[in-house]
Structure 1
Amino acid sequence: MEIRDDAGFFAALDANEEQPYGKARTARAEELVTVAERMGNDENLAWALLRLITAYNYGGESPRTPVPLSRLLGLWDEHPEGFDEQLTHHLFWDLKWITSSLLSVPEVPLTAIRGYLADMERRYRTAGHSLRPVYQSRFYLARHIGADAETTEAFEAWLAADRDRLADCDACERREQARWLIARGRDADALELLAPTLDGALTCAEEPQVSLATSMLPLVREGSPDRARAHHLRGYRSVRGKVSTYAAVAEHIEFCALTGNEGRGIEILAEHRAWLARPQSDPSDHSDFLAGVAVLLRRLVAVGGPELVVFEDTTAGGLGETVERELFEIAARFDARNGNDAVSARVRRRLAAAPVADSLPLGLRSVRVASRAAVDPAATTVSGRGVAELLSYARELDEQGHPRAEAAWRDYAAAARALGQDVDPFALAAITEADGIELVEEGEFAAGAAALDRAATGYLAADAPGRAVGAEVRLAMARFRADEPDALALFDAAQVKAGGFLPDDAAPLALVLHHRAIVALAGEAEDADAILTELHDLGRDHGLRHRQSAALHIRAERALQADRTTDAEVDLSAAITLCREAERPWLACRPLFLRSQVRMRLADPAAAEADMRAALETAAFYTEPQFPVGHALTMLANAIGAQNRPEDALPFALEAAHVFDDEGDPEMAAACRRGAVGMLFGLGRDAEAAAILEELLPEVEEHHGPEHAMQERWALGLCLRRLGDTREAARHLAMAAETAVKVADRATQAELAVAAAHALDDAGMAPQAQAAFGRAIELLRAEGDVRETVRALRAKAWNIASGTDREDPSGVDRAVALFAEALRELAGAETGAGAADEGATMVAVERAGTHHQLAHLLARADRLHPARAAADKAATAYVAVLPEEADGYLDAVQLAARIEAFGLDERPAAVTRLDVALKVCATSGITAVEELTELREELDRS
């Protein structure tokens, strides 16, 4: 559209302001400068140049700002009288950007930058402004060139100077000050400086999202990994793909690289891969981005080797070389300009950063980076004596039944082979047995049984017949789990052999009885109690406390099957004590795990938490390989959550999801994430909840079916609505409502239809909202839910009225008709409600609320007489439900009184109304009547 006058020009400027920063907005800003030049109006040109400077600065082209800024200064110097107060303020504001813009281009000489700084200082002094922005710019220059003394001096002058209207916003200043402190190793001081921004007290166009990114690594180093994770989840959503927060994206990549989340780092890099080939900002910003990427690629090489595939056509090593080559080329350009290696040195320090955490679960599903193969033990030189020591150590652990015994046997065998020595036959049998057990656990029953058969033969060859029986009973268990018909006969044969070692060695028989008890627990033996008693007594009589403990553990499981919870707790407590007395504390993991569940059933979540913590700590300390860590973490989160401590429970839910990801159990991982989302939503941490849901939704849609997808969209829509992202909230809730029609019951359909209608209303999509409210009303009526039907009718009425032009009364009339419909709905419900029951109270509250809202709607439409009548009815209706509905009563009275006093010029009636209301409040025990009293006094004065 051709711009013909000033009004059209400024309308075009304002329209461009609504566009996102980037190439398109910048191109339009340049066009408008040309338009302003053609119009020959200096004021128009000044505004166009200001908007172009802003587009350059936030659109990744800040090095181009000096040209329009110089033109703007020329206009000011020639005709300062043509600049009003607002234009003048913008001119001096934009002067602050010149130093950073010029610093970011290595081809601009330092002398030119210092010249601009001197000119900036002169102009600020002449205009009488604080020199705080000047000192800030001097700080940027000194920091960039590595002049430590000058940097400190400028930093202190910056902080000491007065803040006036031209100072950067407090949040932005604090961020840059914090970054300098972080570079000097002062993480705690930096976080203290950032605290108001991180807590939401300070905000601006770039904050808090950029400070969230800056704070993540310092938080981990200072021992607050949970806050760091929260800042990643909150912050990344706000910086993704935005060139104005170029460096913050790199900080998120670097954070992932240094916290064991390399897979997540790859995903973020993939979303911004185009930035590698086509820099979106100046050399300085691009260097920051490349440095964050280089940190990630170095970690990937360290973890998975240089041939690790990052993208389909790219390896970590190859891409890392390319990125670092470009990175150091840019640094060299800056060094040449600056006359030192300060920039290159900073890059080298950043790339040498060590991980700050082995693994910090983020709650997001990401690709797992496979670690490179461990160093081949055969390549390790081990002395003969060392091999003997390894063999002795393995035997010691094996005799204890220690969970690390298997690893010890393997270490010994590898060392022996490395020296060309024969491996001890017992060791070979033990390793083969361990292989068989692992195969059975993985469901490979036939292969596992074959390995266990070989192990039994190996033990016999090693003159260990008792251990051979152990391998045979495990073989029988493998056959049992595979539903083989000969399994029970194999148990019988093993038990006969084991009995032959008595009375000298009861261990083989105890192992057989232990496995038979497990079979009995599955309901495959009629004499289960007898087997458990025999195992318990054998363990007691022969000093095998760990087998005695096992009998009690299994008996506790049988008690739980029979709902004898208290008996189960007693047996488990005794089992735990026996494990410790046997000096095999690692065996206490599972009874602790089960007792925790029992104590949850007994409504003692604090004791359940203590047990599960103890189980996890014991399993981790002794490296218990079969312990169900993911389930334990999930149950620990549940126990803590049951004590109303969701913030404490959250890290365990997220860690559980991480564990299930590693174990290849996506359903449990998704369930844990859903639980975490519920905690976050309850804590009001909507941005984090939304981040997890956005990552989870595609997987749920692909693998978990429409009902689960509906639930995730519902939750995501509610999060986004609370975050103010109304369009996206409406989209997700509307899609969830559509799915609900196919997969959900009528009550759920109704609830989702209401949520979608409200979201569509928030987003300004009136026709869609009205249709959604209509559908919701239909469903709610079918459900017989009077209260929600009335509320939906009122919401639909407001939706219609809010889009009505005052010149057209039909919209208000339709809204009033809906309020009348709501009142009829309540009248119908009242006939079925007794005077004292809950239904009657609901009807009274909703009737009062309906009159009350109708009064406000009519007042907004300047229909004052019916508005007063509705407010009067509301106040009268509220009296029946005082003091609980005191807020509604007080507002209705004030509304009616204000209409009378200021709209209808009936002040005596308003005074009388207020006097009556004050008496009602006194009678009802309502003391918060300040607003009524103030209005009464105001009417007296007038």
Structure 2
Amino acid sequence: MPTAPHPQNTDELYRALQENDRRPYGRTRTVTAEELVDAAERFDEPVPLIHALLELQEAYTYGSEPRKSPVVFARLLTLFDERPDVFDERLRHMLFWRFKWVANALRALPEVPLTSLRQWLTEMRDRYEKAGLGLQPYYGQAYQLAAHTGEDTTLAYELWAARSRTRLSDCEACEICERALHHLAAGDDERALHAWAPVLNGTESCQEEPARSVSYALLPLLRTGHADRARELHLAGYRACRRNPSMAGEVGRHLEFCALTGNEARGLELLAENRSLFDEVDSPLALLDLLTGVEVLLRRIEHLGHGDLPAAGFAGRTWTVSDLCAEVRGRADDLAARFDARNGTTAHTDRRRTRLDRVPLLDALELTLRTRGLDDVAPAAAPVTPPAATSAAAPAADAAAAPETLPELILRARALDAQGHPDAQACWSRLRTLAGARDYVHPDDPAVGPLVRLRADLLADEAGRTGDEEYAAAAALHEEAAGLYEDAGEPGDAAVARACALLAGAGTDAEGTEDPEVKAAGLTAAHQAMVRLHEETPGLAPYQEARLLRVRATALGLRLQTSGSEEHVAPALAEVDRLLAFATRHDITGQISGALLLRASTHAVSGDLPAALTEVDALLDRLKAQGPAWHLPRTLGLRGRLRLGLRDAGAAYTDLTEGLRLAADLPADAVDTVRLHGDLAEACMRLGRPDEALRHLTRSAELELRRGNRTDAFCAYSSAAQLSLDLGRVEDCIALLDSLLAEPDVTAGELDDRLVAQLRLTRARALHAGEDLKAATAEFVALAAESAGWDDDPGSHAMIAGETAVLLGESGDFGRAREAADQALAAHARSPRYEQLSNCLRELARLRSQQQGPDGLPDALVFLADAGKVADEARAAGFEARGRSLDTALAYEYGRVNAYAGAYEDSLAALERAIALLGEPGPEEDHAGEWAECVRLAAAVEGIYLERPAPALARLDAAVSRLAALGHTEEAEPLTALVAKLRDEA
């Protein structure tokens, strides 16, 4: 099937070639280029055919199809020999430039004999000499062949590097890379990095650079102690080469870098992202480079004992790390052997062995904001289903593996659970494994009780560990546990389980409603049922009764939190006091501190933060003196939140940090460390420590993932991505979002589509901030198309369509920009976004006028007229912008737009209106800088373009005096500089 309509004339052909040139390299671009060559041949004109063949050769070269590139070039060379007159200077230059492309392609094919490679270089030399061209490019190719074979490299390097560059020499960036690689091969890391400096710092670049140089420089940077620089370049460099068939070798070196820095999990992630390269790369040399990097990664993972992990490999089957490693090793060994046989050396086998024998350079280098280990990517173990309730009378055969007998383990688990001790969870986990075994035999011990009781214990533990939002699951598990407790003759435990089911059930009933009254009513009903259950259950043990009272108090505390009603404060405190009195009377330490914590929380929810802080201070004193110690982290967390509420971020930071430190000594999940990290992030932001806040945000997100709370985790990661973007850590932001968007449930469409859209939106903004306009625009266009269907949220569509319009304007595509702006205006009519849309329209006007001058002014004024209507609507609605008023911003933009278009009188009038709307600044006002900029631009238009320096200088002198008198010396500096310029020119 053709990818595009066949051009009917040469004008259409040239337009199609231009359109294809904007496509990324790959099969679509290549197939289209092939079709355009077919179309060009029908016109029987040499020049269009030459252009089409040049486009096709470029598609083959950068689409990693080296076998086809020389064939196309042969046709071009024949055309040149037959009709040299039709090759203008530009076409002639391109033809001779691409001799080097063919040399590169032939080197990449082991089936091409070495004699043929040398013959081609001779052909290149003869052609260059005949055309009167300098031979430095020829010697460059001769050196690259020597480096490829590993023979005579020193002489070949000197013959090339000592010659002066010509117009046909490789670009500065590419030649820098070749020189650096020569030093690297000689073992001189420092000299290589010194040579690379202009490329790595961005001074020199081209289509393949700096991505190519970065991939080679990563390990030398590590070896010379520049780990942070290596991390920074890895993020930017990898993004420039991922999924790109012509840069498969670069991808392989990034995988190797991951393997040698303790980032094996990221390596697997990147391998999966580039899985298509296994089938798309048709260059044997590039494939060898890729496969060697893949093998370095897989061998490292095998060495760490994770050979059974799934890995993304060749299409057609599923792979484990070990299976794929064996397959890659065989293919790469074969390729290296074929190159060495062709070249008559052992260079490629030796280089492969050198890479494979490298040991890790660092134990751990944090490459991304999402730090993960191999255990995090391991598939989750299948849940163990408890056996059906059966009786048995012999001790378990597996009990000997435990540190105590099975009856002792069961009794210890129950005793710890009665105390609320966090070590109970490990005991229940061990028992769950033992009871799930096929040969499990329950002990015949009256102290232990029947199997049905153990099954009830395990269900109750599982219910207590369900996620905060999994109300229905928790309620069902508690209810099932209650039934089993009754079967086991344990009415007290049954009552506790049923009370917990009532509490979870209230949450289930409230799902799907945002009405606080409905939620509060459900909790009231649940509490009443708990009270009846308590009264109707005789013979409760003290720890069971305390638990019932605790659940009752929790229900009323949640009711207060839901309703915020003052009338619910006293009942909640009374229920807490009832629990406290009972626990104190029976000396149940854990429940005493639990009651005190509930009382502090109740004061906090009611808005009395000082009282809550007083309660928590007293509780902490008690915990330090009497315990239980495992309540300290949670209590410190509450005090930290209270101090945040009281605007004491420093003290909050101290409490939360100490809470995290103590939590590290307790079993996992004994403390809500997710919340501690989240609160610490807030404290860090208030203290002006955004980088530390970012670490806590990402840590909380990863902990949520480990708990299975994926929506909460992605929300936290979304906040982290936005913060990293705000901090200017663009590559960190993009790498984090790329990782998240590659998650299986995201690609399968299982995660909330609006949350995914938010992640993509942040990524698009980061791409824009990173000056990848093409990728940013593509993502914005896709998001704008998707959000057009958000009938429930037209405001978000207005925002996205507006940003899309601006990016299209930056690309010069004002036709599509106008369409996107119209979509934004239509959505804005349904859900106003005054400031955002005004900003978008004004920016489009500026771009149109700036790029097209007087020709773009009419359309620019249309954009400003639309912005004027938005400002009118905002004024009528009583909307106040966060910064300058929309009217002031609009007047200033009229000034700029008219200035760009050469309409200087209109520009000056608009700027004077903006100055008037702003009003002169005062000592405390924050618009001094904006006012000064309006004055500066007005004076520049008046004094320079309208050639009226006297009034311009008067305007400037008055403004400088005004700003100086107010102490705004920094804002006055640009005005002072313009004064000097105008007086010098006078």
TM-score by length of 1: 0.72
1:118 aligns with 2:120: no
Q: 2:318: which partner in 1?
A: 314
Whole-Å separation in 1 of the counterparts to 2:711 and 2:882: 42
The CA deviation at 1:32 is: 3.7
1:498 aligns with 2:533: no
Whole-Å separation in 1 of the counterparts to 2:824 and 2:766: 21
Choose which of 296, 299, 304 in structure 1 pairs with 2:298: 296
8 Å Cα contact 2:784/2:804 also seen in 1 = yes
- Listed as ranges, the matches of 1:199-214 within 5 Å are 205-209=207-211
* Distance change (3 Å), C-alpha of 1:715 and 1:578: same
How many residues align? The count is: 852
Choose which of 936, 943, 946 in structure 2 pairs with 1:890: 936
Choose which of 678, 684, 687 in structure 1 pairs with 2:728: 684
| Counterpart code for 2:663 | A
Q: 2:370: which partner in 1?
A: 362
Q: 1:758: which partner in 2?
A: 806
The CA deviation at 1:760 is: 1.8
8 Å Cα contact 1:549/1:579 also seen in 2 = yes
8 Å Cα contact 1:897/1:910 also seen in 2 = yes
Q: 2:858: which partner in 1?
A: 814
8 Å Cα contact 1:711/1:736 also seen in 2 = no
Q: Which stretch shifts more, 384-393 or 557-566?
A: 384-393
1:869 aligns with 2:892: no
Which string of whole-angstrom CA distances, capped at 9 and with x for unpartnered residues, describes residues 167-196 of structure 1?
9666776688789989x9x9xx99999998
* Distance change (3 Å), C-alpha of 1:644 and 1:830: closer
| Counterpart code for 1:349 | D
8 Å Cα contact 2:65/2:283 also seen in 1 = no
The CA deviation at 1:682 is: 0.8
Choose which of 743, 747, 771 in structure 2 pairs with 1:724: 771
1:475 aligns with 2:469: no
Q: 1:22: which partner in 2?
A: 63
Choose which of 696, 711, 731 in structure 2 pairs with 1:652: 696
Whole-Å separation in 2 of the counterparts to 1:532 and 1:816: 67
Choose which of 72, 87, 94 in structure 2 pairs with 1:31: 72
Whole-Å separation in 2 of the counterparts to 1:123 and 1:32: 25
* Distance change (3 Å), C-alpha of 1:877 and 1:617: same
* Distance change (3 Å), C-alpha of 1:166 and 1:828: closer
| Counterpart code for 2:422 | P
* Distance change (3 Å), C-alpha of 1:548 and 1:262: same
1:607 aligns with 2:657: no
- Listed as ranges, the matches of 1:35-50 within 5 Å are 35-40=76-81, 48-50=95-97
The CA deviation at 1:675 is: 0.7
Which string of whole-angstrom CA distances, capped at 9 and with x for unpartnered residues, describes residues 468-494 of structure 1?
898466435445446699865654476
Choose which of 326, 347, 357 in structure 2 pairs with 1:349: 357
8 Å Cα contact 1:798/1:815 also seen in 2 = no
Choose which of 585, 608, 625 in structure 2 pairs with 1:564: 608
The CA deviation at 1:238 is: 1.9
Q: 1:324: which partner in 2?
A: 329
The CA deviation at 1:679 is: 0.8
Q: 2:470: which partner in 1?
A: none
* Distance change (3 Å), C-alpha of 1:750 and 1:425: same
1:61 aligns with 2:108: yes
Choose which of 252, 266, 269 in structure 2 pairs with 1:250: 252
| Counterpart code for 1:565 | L
Choose which of 683, 693, 700 in structure 2 pairs with 1:639: 683
Which string of whole-angstrom CA distances, capped at 9 and with x for unpartnered residues, describes residues 563-622 of structure 1?
222222222333333333234322223223333333333333443343333333333321
Whole-Å separation in 1 of the counterparts to 2:832 and 2:285: 65
Choose which of 614, 618, 625 in structure 1 pairs with 2:662: 618
8 Å Cα contact 1:247/1:288 also seen in 2 = yes
Q: 1:932: which partner in 2?
A: 978
Q: What RMSD in Å do the two structures reach over aligned CA positions?
A: 5.9
* Distance change (3 Å), C-alpha of 1:93 and 1:174: closer
| Counterpart code for 2:370 | L
Which string of whole-angstrom CA distances, capped at 9 and with x for unpartnered residues, describes residues 53-87 of structure 1?
24764999387798677645555468748445xx5
Q: For 1:622, what is the secondary structure of its paired residue?
A: coil
| Counterpart code for 1:281 | S
Whole-Å separation in 1 of the counterparts to 2:657 and 2:122: 67
- Listed as ranges, the matches of 1:81-480 within 5 Å are 82-84=131-133, 87-103=134-150, 113-114=151-152, 117-122=154-159, 127=163, 205-209=207-211, 234-253=236-255, 265-266=267-268, 268-276=270-278, 280-283=282-285, 286-293=288-295, 295-296=297-298, 299=301, 306=308, 313-316=317-320, 317-330=322-335, 337-338=345-346, 342-343=350-351, 345-346=353-354, 348-350=356-358, 356=364, 362=370, 368-370=377-379, 402-407=421-426, 435-441=458-464, 442=466, 443=473, 471=493, 474-480=496-502
Q: For 1:554, what is the secondary structure of its paired residue?
A: helix
The CA deviation at 1:532 is: 3.3
1:671 aligns with 2:715: yes
Q: For 1:563, what is the secondary structure of its paired residue?
A: coil
8 Å Cα contact 2:623/2:632 also seen in 1 = yes
Whole-Å separation in 2 of the counterparts to 1:6 and 1:392: 87
* Distance change (3 Å), C-alpha of 1:99 and 1:601: farther
| Counterpart code for 1:324 | R
The CA deviation at 1:553 is: 0.7
8 Å Cα contact 2:802/2:820 also seen in 1 = yes
Q: 1:905: which partner in 2?
A: none
Q: 2:7: which partner in 1?
A: none
Whole-Å separation in 2 of the counterparts to 1:123 and 1:701: 53
Which string of whole-angstrom CA distances, capped at 9 and with x for unpartnered residues, describes residues 508-549 of structure 1?
665565455445545699975455335435655776543321
| Counterpart code for 2:324 | L
Q: Which stretch shifts more, 701-710 or 383-392?
A: 383-392
Structure 2 gap ranges (5+): 1-39, 384-395, 467-472, 506-525, 561-567, 921-927, 964-971
Q: 2:36: which partner in 1?
A: none
Q: For 2:669, what is the secondary structure of its paired residue?
A: coil
Structure 1 gap ranges (5+): 104-112, 134-163, 461-467, 500-506, 860-866, 901-908
Q: 1:598: which partner in 2?
A: 642
| Counterpart code for 1:552 | L
8 Å Cα contact 1:197/1:203 also seen in 2 = yes
Q: For 1:724, what is the secondary structure of its paired residue?
A: coil
| Counterpart code for 2:72 | E
Choose which of 847, 853, 858 in structure 1 pairs with 2:891: 847
Whole-Å separation in 2 of the counterparts to 1:852 and 1:279: 50
The CA deviation at 1:198 is: 6.7
Whole-Å separation in 1 of the counterparts to 2:789 and 2:539: 63
Whole-Å separation in 2 of the counterparts to 1:315 and 1:785: 50
* Distance change (3 Å), C-alpha of 1:208 and 1:585: farther
Whole-Å separation in 2 of the counterparts to 1:324 and 1:839: 61
Q: Which stretch shifts more, 689-698 or 389-398?
A: 389-398
Whole-Å separation in 1 of the counterparts to 2:821 and 2:74: 47
Q: Which stretch shifts more, 884-893 or 339-348?
A: 339-348
Q: For 2:541, what is the secondary structure of its paired residue?
A: helix
| Counterpart code for 1:928 | P
8 Å Cα contact 1:770/1:800 also seen in 2 = no
Percent identity over paired residues: 21
Which string of whole-angstrom CA distances, capped at 9 and with x for unpartnered residues, describes residues 777-807 of structure 1?
6777899988877766655555666786x9x
Q: 2:393: which partner in 1?
A: none
8 Å Cα contact 1:382/1:419 also seen in 2 = no
8 Å Cα contact 1:794/1:818 also seen in 2 = no
Whole-Å separation in 2 of the counterparts to 1:894 and 1:302: 67
Q: For 1:621, what is the secondary structure of its paired residue?
A: coil
Q: 1:154: which partner in 2?
A: none
Q: Which stretch shifts more, 711-720 or 670-679?
A: 711-720
The CA deviation at 1:691 is: 4.5
The CA deviation at 1:554 is: 1.2
